[in-house]
Amino acid sequence: MRGGGLLVAGTTSDAGKSVVTAGICRWLVRKGLKVAPFKGQNMSLNSFVTREGAEIGRAQAMQAQAARVEPTALMNPVLLKPGGDRSSQVVLMGKPVGEMSARGFFGGSGGSSPGTTLHGGRQKELFEPVMACLEELRSTYDAVICEGAGSPAEINLRRTDIVNMGVARAAKLPVVVVGDIDRGGVFAQFFGTTALLSPEDQSLVAGYLVNKFRGDVSLLEPGLDMLHGLTGRRTFGVLPYAHGLGIDEEDGLRVSLRGTVRESVVAPPVGADVLRVAVCAVPLMSNFTDVDALAAEPGVVVRFVDRPEELADADLVVVPGTRGTVKALAWLRERGLADALARRAAEGRPVLGVCGGFQALGERIEDEVESRAGVVDGLGLLPVRVRFAVEKTLARPVGEALGERVEGYEIHHGVADVRGGEPFLDGCRVGSVWGTHWHGSLESDGFRRAFLREVAAAAGRRFVPAPDTSFGALREEQLDRLGDLIEEHADTDALLRLIEEGAPAGLPFVPPGAP
């Protein structure tokens, strides 16, 4: 039996597709349905490793958690990991298959790296495996909630689309378009998105979902009525602005947002002091979600920084993962952050490097794979030498540190040769400088508390970790909040009909249509 389905599209990137998809998944699973998320093609530096060792977007892993199912590569068959403005690593069914220019991927000249299997216009070739994954999920689950990417009205990319209307058309999925009203212009976005689609694509766009609304919904209703008159399509709900959700985001924070504070639980510290964490906003920052577990601790303030003076009052500095370790090293030096980190280490003030950040803290990097820069000096804060291998390490390690059990996941080309220090999660520690390839380790509650006690002692802060903070429980609460948003503010009866029966017949065409 083939399960039902829905495609959640958006008027723009960051309109709220990921959270709406997660919310629908949680609402449906609470109704007793077996549901799975799906995104045919994702572009993100925030990724996750499934139990079978496949790399997928963290947003899809989060949505799988919302659906209370184990994430698999079927849920995100194509992942693009940007390595710069014009190229990305292509991950197919959880494994990297090559580096490719945007022109080469979407069609035209600009092929892959030497020795890889990619060819120009590879996106079009991936349509069949993407649809095979979706059909396999639909044969197993009662419903599959698909997330689009960017906007379905990217008319320059429609011919090779494997994530928005291309998927909806092939699978005959109804489409709900999400718009972020907090940014303004949402009516124009809804109308324009619809009007730029072909008649065949428009026939699947069932209506709209307003996201991040502040205020009295009755003031919005005349506009929604006019939108219905203009497009013949209804609005399935108005979701209020929700603070502090803190769920996994698809893309990295913009480095220009200096001083951005990571949303966290609003709770006073248990001890006398707060603990300040500064995260270096390195280029191509990946898996910055590693610090979410720190932000979830009462009394821990996490912010992203890009100036050396912003490290002065930090009790802990985190150098996070990055898709470009050599580029991040150059950036740290240009900004004066490298010298600031060296001063911290000399003074015994805490520094944590994760994955690419760990590599940067080492003595030397030999990279003929990622940057092809050859041998590059690291910051020399840890006795580690790193050689980049063609084969990517994808693993779900379990270990122990600071007397506590730790789980994590690894995603890296760099192979670390640790030549000293104390062992620390397959990396090492020297004084108050720690380094590890393990992402997600701070989500292990006992270890996180032990680590924060060490940081507080080294920083001279009277900070005390809360004894009962459970990151997993907090994440479940956040996912339930997303389910509540759908259940309380969307027309769930109408959404369920869409999922089970498809788009209603006779939806009017909105001119001019696709050019």
Within 13 Å, how many C-alpha atoms sit on residue 388's CB side? Answer: 22
What residues contact 347, with CB distance under 8 A and at least 6 apart?
none
* Cα angle: 106, vertex 112, 117; to 5 degrees: 100
* Residue reference for tokens 């009755």: 218
412, 413, 437, 439: the active-site residue:
439
Does 355 participate in catalysis according to the annotation? yes
* Token code pair at residue 199: 């008649």
What residues contact 348, with CB distance under 8 A and at least 6 apart?
431, 432, 458
Is 298 within 8 Å of 469 (Cβ atoms)? yes
Q: How far apart are CA 375 and CA 365, in angstroms?
A: 6
* Token code pair at residue 120: 């120009």
* Token code pair at residue 116: 């890889």
The one-letter amino acid at 168: A
Is 195 within 8 Å of 511 (Cβ atoms)? yes
What residues contact 478, with CB distance under 8 A and at least 6 apart?
245, 246, 247
* Token code pair at residue 106: 């979407």
* Token code pair at residue 292: 């979410």
Q: How far is CA 288 from CA 61, 103, 148, in A?
A: 15, 28, 23
State whether the Cα torsion 128-134-137-141 is positive or negative: negative
Does 146 participate in catalysis according to the annotation? no
* Token code pair at residue 110: 């600009």
355, 413, 428, 437: the active-site residue:
355
Helix axis angle for 471-489 and 445-459, nearest 10°, is 110
The DSSP secondary structure of 157-199, one letter per residue, reads TGGG-SSSHHHHHHHT--EEEEEEGGGS-HHHHHHHHHHTS-H
State whether the Cα torsion 192-193-197-201 is positive or negative: negative
Q: How far apart are CA 5 and CA 498, in angstroms?
A: 8
What residues contact 86, with CB distance under 8 A and at least 6 apart?
101, 102, 103
Nearest alpha-carbon partner for 310 in 261, 272, 382:
261
The one-letter amino acid at 497: R
Q: How far apart are CA 337 and CA 348, in angstroms?
A: 16
Q: Which residues are catalytic?
A: 355, 439
